[in-house]
Amino acid sequence: MPAFEYRQAEEVRDVFARHAVRYLFIGKSGAILLGFPDTTQDSTLFVEKSAANCAALVTALRELGFALTEPQAGEIRRGKDFVQLKNGPFDLDLVFAPDGLEHFEDAWKRRIEVEGFPVCHIDDIIASKAATNRVKDRESLPRLRSFWEYWMATHRR
């Protein structure tokens, strides 16, 4: 699958807005939207786990062109912790309970809006990567922490 592209993020943003889906870009795709100089193969979204939001998400994903199976749609409606989608126009990971983050609402309050994209704060992206403790995440943490220093120096709120 080709690398994550800005156009994909735009499609997600626009379709999810039409369906009032509450979500945040997280992981490396979120960091890239904040300006982190890297690539990734997919987009990862932290999705609010509520019945109405999950139902809207299924509708929005189908509009985007994801050929959801009924078992996948059921997992999304239930807010399964992690759902990986490879049956659409691009790869998409849905995370309802990311490692290192307790509640969607707390992350939502800290979010950064970038050109209409709701993105997890860089602190939350780093906390989640550190808590996941996968080799690829541990390897990216030094660069993410360096980016954090740059980002914090240039984006003080």
Per-residue pLDDT tens digits for 14-42:
999 999 999 999 999 999 999 998 888 88
The residue type found at 140 is: S
pLDDT surpasses 80 at 95:
yes
For the domain spanning 6-154, the CATH number is 3.30.460.40
> What whole-number distance in Å separates Cα of residue 127 and Cα of residue 120?
11
What is the arithmetic mean of pLDDT over 133-154? 88
Residues of 47-78 as b/e, b for ≥16 C-beta within 10 angstroms? bbbeeebbebbbebbeebebebeeebbebbee
The per-type count for the chain, helices as H runs and strands as E runs, is 7, 6
- Decide if 151 contacts 35 (C-beta within 8 A): yes
> What whole-number distance in Å separates Cα of residue 83 and Cα of residue 137?
19
